[in-house]
């Protein structure tokens, strides 16, 4: 994550963030899963493309449930 320009959160070491201009992205890592929050769809797509260059990834789509809570909203 550091090589991709992310900073590790000091309070929660499994959370990384990156701010570039007006773009912001927060990534929570859990073993082999990533949960992403962003302020633009373009930011997420760019990050996914970066990951594809390094790892074989599978996009499971929009997040609907997290820690037993149903999430609402659109991407």
Nearest-angstrom CA–CA distance, 15 and 39 = 16
pTM, rounded to two decimals: 0.79
- Element containing residue 18 per DSSP (H, E): strand 15-20
Six-digit token pair at 74? 């659109």
Q: What is the pLDDT of residues 15-63, one digit of tens each?
A: 999 988 888 899 999 888 889 888 888 888 888 899 899 989 888 888 8
Instruction: Quote the pLDDT of residue 39.
Output: 82
Six-digit token pair at 23? 């773009």
Q: What is the pLDDT of residues 4-15, one digit of tens each?
A: 889 999 999 999
- Which has the higher per-residue pLDDT, 73 or 55? 55
């Amino acid at each position: 994550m550091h090589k991709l320009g992310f900073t590790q959160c000091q309070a929660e070491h499994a959370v990384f963030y990156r701010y570039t201009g007006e773009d912001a992205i927060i990534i929570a890592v859990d073993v082999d899963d990533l949960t992403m929050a962003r302020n633009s769809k373009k930011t997420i797509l760019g990050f996914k493309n970066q990951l594809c260059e390094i790892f074989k990834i599978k996009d499971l789509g929009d997040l609907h449930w997290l820690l037993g809570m149903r999430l609402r909203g659109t991407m």
